[in-house]
Amino acid sequence: MAYPIVPAAYGLKPVSLSGGRVFSGSTRLIPIASNYGYNMFDGDVVTASGGSLVVTTLGAANSPVAGTIGVFVGAQYVNSMSQTVRAQFYAANTITNTLYGPNSLQGYVVDDPYAVFQSAVLTQGTSSVSNTPGATIGYVNPSFIGSNMYLVTNGSNGGSASGNTTTGDSAMGLTGGVVTSGTQGNTRVTATAPFRVVNVVPDTAVTVTAVGSTSGSSTTLTLTAANTAISPGMQLIVPGVTGALASNFLTVTNISGTTVTLSAAVTIASGTALSFVGYPEVQVQWNFGYHGYLNATAA
């Protein structure tokens, strides 16, 4: 397994700008209503509503939400001792010192609609995008570049997303499409969704080994033993096998017990050593119409 390990989702982290341009760290300060009742964590997607920041409602349906303004990366406010406090996350029900004006509580937001973010991949279920806290890490591979991904708020949609109050990190992540049956995983999404995959992150790629074969040329691969570490979205690599070379991006689309379904038919002899490679992190940017600056509907 690669190091470092990605144990859980951590929100969306800005890494660059579209076209490979450098991200300078630029943010915009946007007011948060004093005593706003939900946490906002570093890496949360946020929306401007009535002039103030709120946790996004971009959740189960993943439809465009007017006012979606970017990704939250911290807060500042004036406390009762007239001190300016800067925090990794906004704690619910924070009250600012109103002597310094009604907008002295503010959030830092990466609002550039062309920012590129890195995020953890979460598993997708068999029916719909999940916003349930505790979604587990999933995998994709380079064939997902150019496809779309859904946002998983990983909390109560439209309220407070879950996150870590010790580190201040968000628990939001991204996921691909549903699998038809069997275990959870990820499949490529070509339908409309908020984010476009521009790259996968090789530093944290995971490799799982197994032994198996196909019956002639087939999309069904049979393992000699079940392996729960193999997940839909991983790439199968078998040196010397046509269609399963590293450059072919042959993808696991489903797995149930010892039966693995592949994205294309290949011929693999009995007793062949197999490598399944999965990438638990991707880099994405906003699709047109999802960021508020590229959505003609005003908040």
* 82-141 tens-digit pLDDT: 888 999 999 999 888 776 666 789 999 999 999 999 999 998 755 555 555 557 899 999
> Looking at the structure, do residues 41 and 119 belong to the same domain, yes or no?
yes
The pTM assigned to this predicted structure is 0.92
Give the residue-averaged pLDDT of 196-209: 97
Does residue 221 sit within a domain?
Answer: yes
pLDDT recorded at residue 31? 94
153 and 210 part of one domain: no
Higher pLDDT among residues 281 and 157, named by residue: 281
For residues 135 and 164, membership in a common domain is answered with: yes
CA distances from 105 to 35, 197, 222 (A): 10, 34, 58
User: Both 244 and 287 in a single domain?
Assistant: no
pLDDT confidence of residue 229: 93
Write the pLDDT tens digit of every residue in 157-182.
444 567 889 999 998 999 888 766 66
Check pLDDT > 70 for residue 25: yes
Q: How far lies 32's CA from each of 51, 55, 64, 184, in Å?
A: 8, 11, 22, 37
**The pLDDT of residue 160:** 53
- pLDDT level of residue 1 (50, 70, 90 thresholds): very low
Residues 48 and 163 in one domain: yes
Does a structural domain hold residue 1?
Answer: no
Is 262 a domain residue? Answer: yes
- Whether residue 23 is predicted with pLDDT greater than 90 in this model: the reply is yes
3 belongs to a structural domain? no
pLDDT at 62: 75
Which amino acid, residue 126? T
User: Are both 273 and 297 inside the same structural domain?
Assistant: no
Tens-digit pLDDT profile for residues 250-274? 999 999 999 999 999 999 999 999 9
Instruction: Give pLDDT, residue 204.
Output: 96
pLDDT-derived band of residue 238, with 50, 70 and 90 as boundaries?
A: very high
Highest mean pLDDT among 31-35, 64-68, 229-233, 276-280: 276-280
- Cα Rg of the chain, angstroms: 21
196 and 263 within one domain: no
Asked whether residue 23 is domain-assigned, the answer is yes
pLDDT at residue 157, rounded to an integer: 43
pLDDT for the residue 155: 63
Q: Indicate whether 146 and 260 sit together in one domain.
A: no
Tell whether 178 and 254 lie within a shared domain: no
Share of the chain above pLDDT 90, in %: 65
pLDDT band at 59 (very low <50, low <70, confident <90, very high): low
What is the average pLDDT across 186-206? 94
Q: Could you tell me if 182 and 270 lie in one domain?
A: no
Range of the domain at 266: 206-278
Shared domain for 264 and 212, answered yes or no, is: yes
The total number of structural domains that make up the chain:
2
Q: 145 and 224: one domain?
A: no
